[in-house]
Amino acid sequence: MSTQEQQGVVRDGVHYHKFDIVIVGAGGAGMRAALEAGPNANVAVISKLYPTRSHTGAAQGGMAAALSNVEEDNWEWHTYDTVKGGDYLVDQDAAEILAKEAIDAVIDLENMGLPFNRTPEGKIDQRRFGGHTRDHGKAAVRRSCYAADRTGHMILQTLYQNCVKLGINFFNEYYVLDLITVKEDGQTRIAGVVSYELATGELHVFQAKAIIFATGGFGKIYKTTSNAHTLTGDGVGIVWRKGLPLEDMEFFQFHPTGLYGLGILLTEGARGEGAILRNASGERFMERYAPTIKDLAPRDIVARSMVQEVAEGRGAGPHKDYVYLDCTHLGAEVLETKLPDITEFARTYLGVDPVTEPVPVMPTAHYAMGGIPTTNDAEVLAANTTVVPGLYAAGECACVSVHGSNRLGTNSLLDINVFGKRAGRNAVAYVNKTPDWLPIPEDPAKEVRELIEGLRAGTGTERIATLRKTLQDEMDRNAQVFRTDESLAGVLGVIEELRARYKNVHVDDKGRRFNTDLLEAVELGFLLDIAEVVVYAARNRKESRGGHQRDDYPKRDDVNYLKHTMAYLTGDPHSSDATDHVTLDWKPVVITRYQPMERKY
């Protein structure tokens, strides 16, 4: 990277940079996009973390692809499982792309040097995972390609090494806080982004012809979550604040096997290797809920089954509030070689040795199915069919929608590679037909400067940690696996109060260098915005589907709700009352081959 690109041109204390493509986020989707775009365009990757600390590295179990290395499989079965697993809210044309391109995505990573587990014949090994079946649901199939239980870590390291090899420009520990948009012929166009440099407190404007958001999820709206502390939905929140829609935000996945009381993830790969869920009496209770594939049912079904076991008095422990993941029959060799990380997690955090004793587990907030709506080419939508030229999104922050109302395990690592690659490729195509950059406003950093300085200079009395804890506790209590209109209305009331209190928040650290207190204050604003949309959309969907389970509307309703929720920011964005600024609409689901049927496993 040249010195000029690194430092930028400084005007009025703001650094200005210019690139063909700016990628916001350096996780799996962002770096896969960078690898695709880098050879053909001048690319910058901006990340508030060092790239190898991105949350992709926490993904454990595997990446789905119908390679047929271990047993018969094909991409059509994978498509069917994805559609059925998503409770038929999946856009089926997107699911076909995901399943078809999965095979090349895995081979791409293998060619980059990713150390997959191998069969005795030297092929990439594959194991079972929840919801993945052969012959359209007849039995579980070995489809997950894996690297022990560190698959995401290996993908992240492999992608980063290849980005370094390619000479991609990284701006690490730069926090993007705004998207620069301009109106041209009545249409929203993008011109760049504004970021805050954590090391100095200085602002940087990145002018770009194309921008790719790959900022990950927002699991920190919940207290019990597998998500890292940094997953506060910044990219989704930025897009929302610019007046662009969000899709299917009510659908949040709760992974069944989080360490009890902590939420730290124990991979579904453990059940793929044969681990069993048991209640207090030792019963393998999933035989009652999903008699065909039992513990390998889709995550929404398993999570609800676990909560129901506890609710009906069959939970374990002093308070009868968890169930067990039993790995003892797998043996030390399997646990230490194929599942070493989760074995160590259980020992370290709960003092339980999975080799000899079952591990206490309960569902943990894990993955956002909803997010920034995109086309199959990763183009961001301004409305149901209108795209924002030059703006792309991929990974968990995006909603294609290949996950519908419930994502199948191993489809997330697949999603970031398939649609990260598509985002990079299509951004290059857009740049090649766009001869010049759009002009940016005279002071493009004005809004970010006012946000940062307003928080730093604030003399309020509200504590960031107190407000965040109140939000997360309330979301855990009343907007988690099971929901009702009453519980959701209560959450909205709490969020309304917190949004009002947030205006009076206090930041202790007034400095400019690595001010994490200020950083968390900004992140809290995004969390409140996103939690509000999640709950508002959940209250509006009066049915149960996938990860959205309404006790007061327990049945799936295809007549009224076989459609995507589209949320728009309208009215007064500063109002505490969601009805003043959130408008909901619908978008049709794309159905090609598989008509909605009852989900039986």
Written as one letter, the residue type at 201 is G
**DSSP-derived pairing of the beta strands 14-24 and 43-47:** parallel
d(CA 125, CA 545): 33
Question: DSSP characters for 395-438?
Answer: STTEE-SSSTTSPPTTHHHHHHHHHHHHHHHHHHHHHHT--SPP
d(CA 244, CA 570): 10
**DSSP-derived pairing of the beta strands 252-259 and 462-463:** unpaired
* 22 beta partners: 44, 211
Judge if the upstream peptide bond of residue 54 is cis by omega within 30 degrees of 0. Answer: no
Interior angle at CA 358, CA 352 and CA 364, nearest 5:
85
d(CA 523, CA 535): 18
Q: Please state, in angstroms and as integers, the Cα–Cα distance from residue 491 to each residue in 113, 193, 488, 568, 571, following that order.
A: 47, 33, 5, 20, 21
d(CA 355, CA 333): 9
The reply to whether 299 belongs to the active site is yes
Query: Helix or strand or coil: residue 214?
Result: coil
d(CA 8, CA 476): 44
Query: Helix or strand or coil: residue 7?
Result: helix
How much is the CA Rg of the chain, to the nearest whole Å? 23
φ/ψ of residue 503, rounded to 5: -65, -15
Q: Which of 127, 581, 61 is nearest to 367 (CA)?
A: 61
* 46 beta partners: 24, 171
Are 391 and 380 within 8 A, CB to CB? yes
* 183 beta partners: 188
Could you say which of 142, 299, 407, 556 is catalytic?
299
Residue 442 neighbours by CB under 8 Å, 6+ apart = none
**DSSP-derived pairing of the beta strands 387-393 and 582-588:** unpaired
Catalytic residue positions?
299
